[in-house]
Structure 1
Amino acid sequence: MSHLYRRRSSSGAGKGTCLATRDGLAARRDEPSGEEQVCHGASIIGLQARRSSPETRRALEDIASRVSIIATVHSYLQLSRHDGQIDVAEYVPGLCNSLKEALCGPRAISLTSRAVAAMLPPEKALSIGLIVNELVTNAVKYAFEEGRAGKVHVDLSRENSRFLLTVSDDGRGYSPAAEASLGTRLVTTFASQLVGSATWANGPNGGCVITVAFPV
Structure 2
Amino acid sequence: MFKDTFSVLLIEDSNADYRLIQEYLGESQSPSFQISRSADFSAGLSLITNESPDLVMLDLSLPDRAGLEALSEIKRRFPQIPVIICSGAEDKEITVNALQIGAQDYVYKGKFDSYSLSRSLVFAYERNRLALELEKKNVFEQENEERYRLFFQYNPHPAFLFEHDSLKILEINRAVLEKYGYEEKDLIGKSILQIFELSDFDKVKQEIIFFQFGANQASSFVHKKKDGEKLIADTTVYKFRYQNQILDLAVVTDITEMVRNKESILATLAEKDALIQEIHHRVKNNMQIMISLLNLQADNAMSRNLTAKELYNLLKDTESRVFSMSLVHNELYKSNDLSHVDFHSYLNMLLENLWNLYGVGLKIKHLVEAQGLVLSMNIAISLGLIVCELVTNAIKHAFPDGYEGLLKIIARCELGSTIVTIEDNGKGIPKEMINKNHETLGLQLVNILTKQIQGKLHLEILDPGTKFEIRFPEQKGAVEKKL
Give your verdict on TM over 0.5.
yes
| d(CA) in 1 for partners of 2:399, 2:342 | 32
Cα distance change on mapping 1:106 and 1:146 into 2, 3 Å: closer
Cα deviation for residue 154 of structure 1 reads 0.8
SS at match of 1:155: strand
SS at match of 1:206: coil
Q: Which residue of 1 aligns with 2:329?
A: 74
Q: Given the alignment of the two structures, is residue 90 of structure 1 paired with residue 348 of structure 2, yes or no?
A: no
Q: 1:136 aligns with which of 368, 376, 391?
A: 391
| d(CA) in 2 for partners of 1:112, 1:164 | 16
More divergent stretch after superposition (173-182 vs 130-139): 173-182
Does the 8 Å CA contact 1:166/1:210 hold for their aligned counterparts? Answer: yes
Cα deviation for residue 90 of structure 1 reads 2.0
Cα deviation for residue 149 of structure 1 reads 1.2
Q: Which residue of 2 aligns with 1:19?
A: none
Higher relative contact order (CA 8 A, sep 6+): 1
Q: Which residue of 1 aligns with 2:480?
A: none
| d(CA) in 1 for partners of 2:349, 2:383 | 13
| d(CA) in 2 for partners of 1:105, 1:55 | 18
Q: Given the alignment of the two structures, is residue 198 of structure 1 paired with residue 457 of structure 2, yes or no?
A: yes
Q: Which residue of 1 aligns with 2:448?
A: 189
Deviations 1:137-175 (A, max 9, x none): 100100122221111111111111111111111111123
Q: Which residue of 2 aligns with 1:126?
A: 381
SS at match of 1:141: helix
Deviations 1:78-137 (A, max 9, x none): 212224211213222232233233332221111111114122211111111111111111
More divergent stretch after superposition (168-177 vs 123-132): 168-177
Partner amino acid, structure 1, of 2:457: A
| d(CA) in 2 for partners of 1:101, 1:60 | 15
Percentage identity across paired residues of the two chains: 28
| Matched ranges for 1:154-193 at <5 A | 154-175=409-430, 176=434, 177-193=436-452
Q: Given the alignment of the two structures, is residue 114 of structure 1 paired with residue 369 of structure 2, yes or no?
A: yes
Q: Given the alignment of the two structures, is residue 55 of structure 1 paired with residue 310 of structure 2, yes or no?
A: yes
Specify which structure has the higher proportion of helix: 2
In the alignment of these two chains, the number of paired residues is: 171
Does the 8 Å CA contact 1:93/1:115 hold for their aligned counterparts? Answer: no
Runs of 4+ in 1 over 6 A off after TM superposition: none
Structure whose CA Rg is larger: 2
Q: Which residue of 2 aligns with 1:15?
A: none
Partner amino acid, structure 2, of 1:171: G
Does the 8 Å CA contact 2:362/2:401 hold for their aligned counterparts? Answer: no
Q: Which residue of 2 aligns with 1:102?
A: 357
Cα deviation for residue 68 of structure 1 reads 1.1
